């Protein structure tokens, strides 16, 4: 099947776009790029996908796991060592959720409350 389009961007709402961009920059190593107004901040990978952080003053984070305010979307990050990755994430402000659904990945919340996962890479 021919592709209709290419994924180029994922946007996350947050009351603090620059702070959240710096958090994900610490995870990915991608540089922070954005305007002076801090309402739209970007991380651009070398592979052409951009993660953006847009100002949303009334942002209500999802509750994971919950049907009342479901996650709606999340990001996965592959790591070679789950324990080492977890330690590094906690050091930069991630919060580990209490309920962990598996042992090959771990669920965390970013500073704005968005869920994301560390996934054990296959080597």
pLDDT score, position 48: 79
**In terms of residue numbers, what domain contains 32?**
1-58
What contacts 30, CB < 8 A, 6 or more positions away? 24, 43, 44, 45, 46, 51
Do residue 50 and residue 69 come from a single domain? Answer: no
Do residue 42 and residue 97 come from a single domain? Answer: no
Do residue 74 and residue 117 come from a single domain? Answer: yes
pLDDT score, position 76: 87
Greater confidence, 123 or 96?
96
Over residues 61-94, the pLDDT tens digits come to 888 777 887 767 778 898 989 999 999 999 999 9
Beta-carbon count within 10 A of 30 CB? 19
For the chain, the domain total comes to 2
Over residues 16-69, the pLDDT tens digits come to 999 999 999 999 999 999 877 889 999 988 887 899 999 999 988 888 777 887
Q: How far apart are CA 123 and CA 116, in angstroms?
A: 21
Greater confidence, 72 or 112?
112
Of 84, 93, 77, 85, the closest CA to residue 14 belongs to 93
DSSP 8-class letter at 85 = H
Do residue 42 and residue 25 come from a single domain? Answer: yes
Phi-psi sector, 38: left (phi>0), alpha (psi -120 to 50), beta: left
Q: What is the CATH number of the domain that holds 102?
A: 3.10.180.10
Do residue 36 and residue 81 come from a single domain? Answer: no
């Amino acid at each position: 099947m021919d592709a209709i389009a290419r994924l180029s961007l994922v946007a996350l709402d947050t009351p603090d776009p620059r702070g959240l961009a710096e958090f994900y920059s610490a995870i990915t190593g991608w540089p922070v790029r954005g305007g002076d107004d801090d309402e739209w901040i970007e991380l651009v990978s070398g592979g052409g996908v951009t993660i953006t952080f847009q100002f949303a003053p009334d942002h209500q984070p999802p509750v994971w796991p919950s049907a009342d305010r479901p996650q709606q979307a999340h990001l996965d990050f592959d790591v070679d060592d789950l324990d080492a990755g977890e330690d590094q994430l906690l050091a930069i402000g991630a919060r580990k959720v209490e309920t962990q659904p598996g042992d090959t990945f771990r669920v965390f919340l970013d500073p704005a409350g968005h869920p994301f996962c560390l996934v054990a890479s296959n080597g």
